[in-house]
A and B are shown apart, each in its own frame.
Chain A
Amino acid sequence: MTIEIPEQPGSSRPAVTPGKQSKLAFLWSSLLHSWTGMTGFIIILLLLFLSLFGQWIAPFDPMHAEFSKKLLPPMTDGHLLGTDQLGRDILSRMIAGARISVIIGVMTVLIAGTFGTVVGIVSGYFRGWLDVVLMRIVDVQLSFPFILLVLVINAIIGTGLKNIILSLAIGGWVIFARVVRSEVLALREKEFITASVATGVPRIQILFKHILPNLFTPIIILSSLQIATYIIAEASVSFLGFGVQPPNPAWGNMLSEGKDYIFSSWWLITFPGVAIMITALGVNFFGDWLRDTLDPELKGE
């Protein structure tokens, strides 16, 4: 007689026991149960969709100026959200701006995350004088306000999309370095690392086999939360006249250009502002959900 239960993803097992195949299924079911997570997820999907297919969806050319149609209020002449001071369609510009925001958020996280992670691992795993030097650099950099630092770097290396990404990454890698280092410090003292050394595995192999996979979850969580920070920072920097330069449509410089008309034509500044807010909120919702879902597992229970 067999009483063995076949291994079916998501079946028969009590509580939360994700195997390899069922991990995605587990995440999905957890997402369905969290309205904030779901909201964030939908907002992120929408953003990605707009940034990928925006140029075919946008009703007008975002760069096309038509002075006879300037400062039209929303819902007139087919301009759903109105036009700006040069007669450009605000909805189309916002869709184009979404693409810039996504590019900046994702690229910055990739660059800052990779660099910071490498620094954090080197610091935490090998320790010694290198750790001391690297962490003092991090300390010094953390003592500057983030936006100020980004502005200074941006002023030095120049404006434009590539440079704003670079400035944000230079300003932002320290967070990754700090978090990753502390995770590595905690991990390397874990008994399973000692147990692995005790079976004769070389230390460098332990770094790749045992430390790195365990860093995956905290890095993903941190990245998702940092994306929102970077998008807001880019908007702030662009608003201040650095970063993405007009006439390119970024939400930040749309705000900047529209602020002169705030009393006469509220739609110039309101819609990009709402877009920034919704994006930041959505990404944060998603990041929070991700942390709540993945973190307890990291701790074992």
Chain B
Amino acid sequence: MMEKPLLEIQNLHVEFKSGKEVVRPIRGIDLKVNRRETVGIVGESGCGKSVTSLTVMGLLPEKTGRIADGSILFDGTELTALPEKAYRKIRGNDISMIFQEPMTSLNPVFTIGEQLSEPLRQHRKMGKKEIRETIISTLKQVGLPRAEQIIDEYPHQLSGGMRQRVMISLALLCQPKLMIADEPTTALDVTIQAQILELLKAIRGSNDMSLMLITHDLGVVAEMCDRVIVMYAGEIVEEAGVEAIFDRPLHPYTQGLMQSLPSNNERKGKLFSIKGQVPKPSEIGKGCAFANRCPHAFDRCFAEAPPVFSEAGHQSKCWLLDPVSKEGSRDESSIPIRS
């Protein structure tokens, strides 16, 4: 048997109260992150990627958001019922997070050193000198030049890429077991993006940690991840190893995502796009959430939510994979494969 996964989420449901309505951005997801593994979570805006990461961090808005059901097991600890005080010992220490916007993720009135000392003072008993040395060595680890000077500079003196490196070092300081990166490269320009990804990859290898990479960029996923989870409208619609996903995407939504990628070496007249939008959580009926946009949808898709079909570790929630419906109305293209 394999060793137990570092993070195991089971049947997670999250609810947001907005006025009198209750919105369910996460509707029953199961996922696990193994030790030393990079898991990518992909999906359009509004599919619940970020809410998933905030839930793991225990950062749901206190008054409006709550975990309605399910469990989050991290390294043997159940997180869903954890009191705030115990959660604080995990945040920044065992699990840390990198945010999307490096320009606003640092407090403008403090020097880099003052901000980076925060997690160390919170979680480690260290003297001033020791803190400073740790920060400088971490800044060097993330590839910042002249770390000894940057530690005394203010955020506005650094470029976007440098700030994101600082944010990564902030997440690294306590050597977490799991790092969640929520679109870490979206706000950066392309050349910097590649550098930051390389850095994350290198760090994951050297620090013996797991990485949960949230992104909408399939290129990033192909480059970085061991396993990929595709989310749509608060559900996981497909999960597979990175090669399996790119070679043979099973879910029509994943296929759509792949086709939407602009190709490097051909000049198409028109880019492919999946018609329609992610349905609002209130608009989801009893059938498959993707049915209204799916090119292959048939009667059953609108009537019944598909279960998870699994073959050799490749899981997908789509009726097309059901051997029964395969023989039915849509036999001509049973499992559509991207050509």
> Which A residues contact B (CB, under 8 angstroms)?
4, 7, 13, 17, 19-20, 127-128, 190-192, 194-202, 209-210, 213-214, 216, 297-298, 300-301
Contacts and interface: CB of A to CB of B under 8 A. Distances in A.
A4 B149 contact: yes
B154 A191 contact: no
Contacts of B123: 200
12 contacts: A17-B154, A191-B105, A192-B105, A195-B170, A198-B59, A198-B99, A199-B170, A200-B90, A201-B88, A201-B118, A201-B119, A300-B104
Interface stretch (B9-17, B31-39, B106-114, B254-262): B106-114
B211 interface: no
B308 to A, nearest CB: 31
Given A7-B149, A17-B154, A198-B92, A298 B119 contact: no
B167 interface: yes
Contacts of A202: 88
A197 B154 contact: no
B146 interface: yes
A17 B59 CA distance: 34
Interface in B86-101: 88-93, 96-97, 99-101
A301 B152 contact: no
B325 interface: no
Contacts of A7: 149, 152
B280 interface: no
Nearest to B95: A198
B154 A298 contact: no
A199 B105 contact: no
Given A4-B146, A19-B154, A300-B103, A200 B92 contact: yes
A213 B109 contact: yes
A209 B156 CA distance: 19
A98 B170 CA distance: 52
B119 A200 contact: yes
A300 B156 contact: yes
Contact of A199 (B92, B108, B153, B154): B92
B108 A298 contact: yes
Interface in B158-212: 167, 170-171
**B interface, how many residues as a size bin?**
35 or more
B107 A192 contact: yes
Contacts of A298: 108
Given A190-B104, A198-B96, 16 more contacts: A19-B152, A127-B63, A194-B59, A194-B99, A195-B105, A198-B57, A199-B92, A199-B171, A200-B88, A200-B93, A200-B119, A201-B92, A201-B119, A202-B88, A214-B108, A216-B109
A137 to B, nearest CB: 22
Contacts of B99: 191, 194-195, 198
Contacts of B157: 13, 17
Count chain A CB atoms within 10 A of each CB in B92, B109, B152 and give the residue with the most: B109
B149 A199 contact: no
B77 interface: no
Max count, chain B CB within 10 A of own CB: residue among A192, A194, A297:
A192
Given A192-B104, A214-B108, A200 B146 contact: no
B59 A197 contact: yes
B122 interface: yes
A20 B88 CA distance: 31
A301 B158 CA distance: 12
Nearest to A215: B109
Given A195-B97, A195-B170, A200-B93, A214 B118 contact: no
